[in-house]
Structure 1
Amino acid sequence: MSLIHRIQSYGTLARGLLEGTGSNRTLAVELERRSVRQAEHPFLLYEDQQFDYAQANRIVNRIAHAYRAAGVRKGDVLALLMENRPEFVWHYLAAGKLGVVTALVNTRARGDGLAHAISVCGANQMTVGSECLPAFLAVRDRVADELLVRCRVDEDRKVPAGDAGGLLRFVQSPTSTDPPETAEYTLGDTGAYIFTSGTTGLPKAAVMSYQRLTSVGRVTGALAWRLEPSDVIYNCLPLFHTNALVIALSSVLAHGATLALGRRFSAGTFWHDMHRFEATGCNYIGEMCRYLVNTPADDRDRGHRVRVMVGQGLQADVWTTMQERFAIPRIVEMYASTEGNIATINLSGEVGSVGKLRLGGKLAKWDFERDDFVRDNGRLVPSGPGEVGVLLGPIRKKTPFGGYRDEQATRAKVITDAFRDGDALYNTGDVFRVDAKKNLFFVDRLGDTFRYKGENVSTTEVQEQLVRWPGIASASVYGVPVPGREGRAGMAAVVLADGARFDGEALAAYLDAALPPYARPVFIRVRPSLETTATLKLSKLALRREGFAPREGEPIYVRDAGDRTYQELTPERYEAIVRAEERAMTLEGTERL
């Protein structure tokens, strides 16, 4: 990056962060402006379809006018349950033209999770894609009658609704002019409820202002993507989450570029799509990149136009492999959370870092044994170079914390009088290490790190070492309680690489060289696949609940502290551990397990 470009970029960052909440430059207004200034420029590519900015604006207007005719007004909450397709973008932007809050429901939610999401967001309007209709109909008896009468089905051209269960069909209005009220709404208004990923429990509805939904796209587009109108950014991550909605869609729209939309991520077709759309960039989640580097080599690995990838959660080993194998000139790792008020961007290319500790962010020491912050005379203790700590974001006018619809959940994330009287900080719940140059390196989630043998075990570190072993394709690491033992013993659920068999002796020797004794997994469960969230984050809730209990078709291997190999956990051995009757299998006194 040239000096001039860097100065311009940081100027854009400052303008984006400081832009007043009274401004009306929302995404809906941006679309209207682009539809005039770049009328024929491609805005959205999807399969064999192409929509220019003017065409997209007309479609969005027809949807907005249909909602207006149905009595939908500012302050209403529209629950949108729809997979990635152009109609998702149209409904989202149409709601923005009317000042309607869009609650973006996870399309993989089922049963209790789906009913919870619809209820907790306070929706009084709902639009369901026909592709999601079966899941919705399965919980319709748990949906309020007043919402059911305002629920409409938008048909996917590939998945006709068939029997819509008596629900209304969504029909666009013939009116395609810009609604007059769009310019009345400001960046300070609430634009969406976006659900947290729910990797360890039921998701919470985070409150997203138009400022977050719009300005972050302007900043990311300038700093991370360095977007030009000629750029084509490919997104195959779900639009109901911030990575796709803000890093991809908002950035593209704010800078007048083109979005190529994939229905969902597929490692087998990813590079085919990149070539087909002539994409110059794409956004990512770390696990997505791991899937890509585990695919067989292909002619499409190179010869593409990709100049940059932007995303989160990319581990160092995959980073270098990804860049070398697929010839990616720039990888920009970021850190941000859906509800958080602090974000970082790695502009230096420092492998493994999420960027610098800036904008007033703080790292505070955490006592993993007490499960609380370290305090000195009641104040939090800052982490220094080489130390780990929990990242905190200062809550102030320039960096507000919007919180959740649940006020109690919002209060639980705020720490007051932390470093001085009267301060307030948002607790990210994420643990980082900082170096002497203020580079941040992600260590783990607070809920994932666990104590074993008096030491803190980073699940991220253990997982990274496991997947480096040639026989393991993917791994999820967590702690499990064992009767009669302090802390939690390390456990990993792994998927073996194609054609590989579990070699307990070789794996044990590898881990002995790669990890300290306390971090080596005690139990390893071999599974055909690992459950992930819709944004490809590993979901550990069910795995923790299962513990080390054997399941048919999923062998578990256990390694005693003095053993050279992992051995299969037999039913007899499992019962002995659970009853803690066989003293050779206890941790205390014998250092077994």
Structure 2
Amino acid sequence: MSQDNVTALDIARRLPGVFRRLPSIARGLYYYAVPNEHSELTLGTLIERNAEKFGNRPAVLFEDRSITWSEFNGWANRIAHFLQGQGLTKGDAIAVFLENRPELLAVVAGAAKLGVACAMLNTSQKGKVLKHSINLVKPKMVVVGEELLESFDNIKTDLNTSHATPFLFLADINTTNAFGDAPGGYVNMAEEVSAFRSDNPMLSNPPRMGDTAIYLFTSGTTGLPKAAPGSHRKFVMAYGGFGLMSLAMEPEDVLYCPLPLYHGTALLVCWGSVLAGGSAMALRRKFSARAFWDDVRRYHATTFGYVGELCRYLLNQPASDQDRNHSLTKMIGNGLRPSIWQEFKERFGIETVAELYASSEGNIGFSNFFNMDNTVGFSTAPYKLVKFHEGTRDPIRNKKGFLEEVAKGEPGLLIGEITRKWSFEGYTQKDATEQSILRNAFKNGDAWFNTGDVLKEIGCRHLQFVDRMGDTFRWKGENVSTNEVENIIDGSGMVEEAIVYGVSIPKTNGKAGMVTLVPHNDPREFDVNKLLAYLQANLPPYAIPVFVRVTHAIEKTGTFKYRKVDIQKAGYSLGHEFEEVFARLPGKDGYRRLTPGMVADIDAGRMNF
């Protein structure tokens, strides 16, 4: 069950652990609170500092490669000098289309030293979506990995680039010394970079903390992606807030990161934490539940980064006497469901869960500083939880036109005040940026970032995630939280994963609940009415899903998020291979397997739900 409150006594019990981390916390507070956007503290200078202090210690581990901080800094410097030789200067952008491998980090680091921003392209994108993402940032050049060449070749003639030789090729080989052969129309980047010197670049106008270091892209689940700029400040804040204050990272630590580096949790949170400790980042191209613990043991990892449903995949693996045969004690990320939080910690012996709340574009973040269960922690940023219209991102304004806070403990829309210190960097599109800002919220002239997420306070300024906006729907005049229904279904012990959402039924008001689930056992043998009995014992009648789709797998994004929009569009339709759909039909007991005739009757409004 989820934790319903955090008390002063709960926090007091955690104070001995906090006291042990005091030196790290004190340092973390300094970096987290640095307000000066003109400071020369940047991603590049953080790397240079580690090269000086921990030069012979590993910085990046990947397959059979181990790259020290000194080697990594020299590699980044050669890339910086190469890009400078190509005419790139502070304020320019390049796009990076690489799978997880050390070359990606080196390119980002090298570009950052010049003040050149890297647009981190989603490696699963293709066609018009990929073209759209690249053209959003108008990069001077694009770095393309051999592993993604086919996808890129299909759209490269449609790109808006202004460089004479805009396409840089990086061979997919397991060494930094062999260059491979670049195809026609591409510059062999590794070969060109090798000719440049490895000393730190000396610039008359170096990058500053407030300058853009990266662009991260929204998932685009309800439209084409948007590009969110991320400044060097975000790396510095992750360095202090997560690496030092939450995880107390040390040079001996190894953070295993199977998350895609085009995602903020991997690039900002995980890498920022590694930078803070002078630690090592162990990379894997793509997450594998079966290989996870072997990798952890191979790299002697002490920490790992997670997001979305990754932890559930690990729990779904058969239990083994090797489940605690590893060195992991810490984990950092977001999306660990309360329904599996304790089970995961106990099965695998994890001591610290640094659950967090943040977004690529947002100006507010929460961190589980006290290592409490089932909470995203607290934040020093100014925020409020306000009343909102169900199923939208829109807050409710009172008769005076201002927003109102919810009562303590009630779910509310999270908004973060936009100030000089807590700036909102927004998107490359000005209209998208403005749509996310709430102006004149509590007084004339103020401005707040609308996160679009619903959270609630559970005590001592600790928040608990409730729902993404749009994940709440109304049925039978009642509000249904998809997150809460999913947590109940998780507790049944009958499913590996489940996603709940609302679907429209002709001639009804609101939306009916529906769940798509993957059973623990053979889907053909799943007892849907046994699940119904469990739901009836644990949920109010209006929250019990009307429809159930039983399937063998649920498609997800590269960052382990469900493609909920696509699933909702399918609704209760039939004809999907290896799937069955059940419904609680009016006047009938239990769930019935839907037939084409039944679907036709529902669509025609002939069933009175």
The TM tier, using the shorter chain, reads over 0.9
Hey, what's the Cα distance between the residues in 1 that align with 2:86 and 2:174?
26
Contact 2:391 2:469 in 1 (8 A): no
Residue aligning to 1:213: 235
Residue aligning to 2:603: 578
Hey, what's the Cα distance between the residues in 1 that align with 2:163 and 2:589?
61
Task: Give, as a single letter, the amino acid of the residue that structure 2 aligns with 1:389.
Answer: G
CA offset at residue 112 of structure 1?
2.3
Contact 1:29 1:183 in 2 (8 A): no
Q: Does 1:308 align with 2:333?
A: no
CA offset at residue 156 of structure 1?
0.8
More displaced 10-residue stretch of structure 1: 386-395 or 112-121: 112-121
Q: How do residues 464-503 of structure 1 correspond to structure 2 at under 5 angstroms?
A: 464-499=487-522, 501-503=525-527
What CA deviation, in whole Å up to 9, does each residue of 1:526-551 have, x standing for no partner? 22221212111112121122222212
Hey, what's the Cα distance between the residues in 1 that align with 2:494 and 2:222?
28
Task: Give, as a single letter, the amino acid of the residue that structure 1 aligns with 2:515.
Answer: A
| Structure 1 SS opposite 2:119 | strand
Hey, what's the Cα distance between the residues in 1 that align with 2:360 and 2:391?
28
What CA deviation, in whole Å up to 9, does each residue of 1:59-83 have, x standing for no partner? 1122222222222222221010100
Contact 1:533 1:539 in 2 (8 A): yes
| Structure 1 SS opposite 2:409 | coil
Of residues 166, 185, 193, the one that matches 1:150 is: 166
Residue aligning to 2:152: 136
Of residues 532, 536, 545, the one that matches 1:521 is: 545
- Alpha-carbon distance change, 468 to 165 in structure 1, aligned in 2, over 3 angstroms: farther
Residue aligning to 1:373: 395
Q: Does 1:567 align with 2:589?
A: no
Q: How do residues 145-224 of structure 1 correspond to structure 2 at under 5 angstroms?
A: 146=162, 149-157=165-173, 164=183, 166-170=185-189, 171=191, 172-174=193-195, 175-181=197-203, 184-224=206-246
Residue aligning to 1:122: 138
More displaced 10-residue stretch of structure 1: 432-441 or 386-395: 432-441
- Alpha-carbon distance change, 149 to 360 in structure 1, aligned in 2, over 3 angstroms: same
Contact 1:511 1:520 in 2 (8 A): yes
Question: How big is the alpha-carbon RMSD for the aligned residues of Structure 1 and Structure 2?
Answer: 2.1
Hey, what's the Cα distance between the residues in 2 that align with 1:158 and 1:567?
54
| Structure 1 SS opposite 2:89 | coil
Residue aligning to 2:83: 67
Hey, what's the Cα distance between the residues in 2 that align with 1:370 and 1:96?
38
Q: Give % identity.
A: 38
Q: How do residues 501-512 of structure 1 correspond to structure 2 at under 5 angstroms?
A: 501-512=525-536
| Structure 1 SS opposite 2:96 | strand
Contact 2:243 2:275 in 1 (8 A): no
Residue aligning to 1:353: 375
Hey, what's the Cα distance between the residues in 2 that align with 1:182 and 1:86?
29
Contact 1:82 1:128 in 2 (8 A): yes
More displaced 10-residue stretch of structure 1: 484-493 or 546-555: 546-555
Task: Give, as a single letter, the amino acid of the residue that structure 1 aligns with 2:79.
Answer: I
CA offset at residue 398 of structure 1?
1.1
Segments of 5+ residues of structure 2 without an aligned counterpart are: 1-16
Task: Give, as a single letter, the amino acid of the residue that structure 1 aligns with 2:582.
Answer: Y
Q: How do residues 262-277 of structure 1 correspond to structure 2 at under 5 angstroms?
A: 262-277=284-299
Q: Normalized against structure 2, the TM-score is what?
A: 0.92
Hey, what's the Cα distance between the residues in 1 that align with 2:174 and 2:62?
13
- Alpha-carbon distance change, 212 to 370 in structure 1, aligned in 2, over 3 angstroms: closer
Contact 2:466 2:483 in 1 (8 A): yes
- Alpha-carbon distance change, 522 to 64 in structure 1, aligned in 2, over 3 angstroms: same
Of residues 14, 36, 40, the one that matches 1:24 is: 40
Residue aligning to 2:384: 362
Hey, what's the Cα distance between the residues in 2 that align with 1:559 and 1:353?
35
Hey, what's the Cα distance between the residues in 2 that align with 1:369 and 1:206?
24
- Alpha-carbon distance change, 209 to 231 in structure 1, aligned in 2, over 3 angstroms: same
Hey, what's the Cα distance between the residues in 2 that align with 1:502 and 1:182?
68
Hey, what's the Cα distance between the residues in 2 that align with 1:7 and 1:118?
43
Q: How do residues 88-99 of structure 1 correspond to structure 2 at under 5 angstroms?
A: 88-99=104-115
Contact 1:221 1:251 in 2 (8 A): yes
Contact 2:297 2:326 in 1 (8 A): yes
Residue aligning to 1:590: none
Task: Give, as a single letter, the amino acid of the residue that structure 2 aligns with 1:155.
Answer: A
| Structure 2 SS opposite 1:428 | strand
Q: Does 1:49 align with 2:65?
A: yes
Residue aligning to 2:51: 35
- Alpha-carbon distance change, 130 to 237 in structure 1, aligned in 2, over 3 angstroms: same
Hey, what's the Cα distance between the residues in 2 that align with 1:7 and 1:516?
49
What CA deviation, in whole Å up to 9, does each residue of 1:430-488 have, x standing for no partner? 00122343321111111222221122211111222223333311112211111111111
- Alpha-carbon distance change, 563 to 386 in structure 1, aligned in 2, over 3 angstroms: farther
Q: Normalized against structure 1, the TM-score is what?
A: 0.94
CA offset at residue 243 of structure 1?
0.4
Contact 1:237 1:264 in 2 (8 A): yes
More displaced 10-residue stretch of structure 1: 198-207 or 400-409: 198-207
Hey, what's the Cα distance between the residues in 1 that align with 2:268 and 2:274?
9
- Alpha-carbon distance change, 578 to 371 in structure 1, aligned in 2, over 3 angstroms: farther
| Structure 1 SS opposite 2:105 | helix
Q: Does 1:421 align with 2:437?
A: no
CA offset at residue 135 of structure 1?
1.1
Hey, what's the Cα distance between the residues in 2 that align with 1:274 and 1:394?
40
Contact 1:522 1:558 in 2 (8 A): yes
Contact 1:200 1:540 in 2 (8 A): no
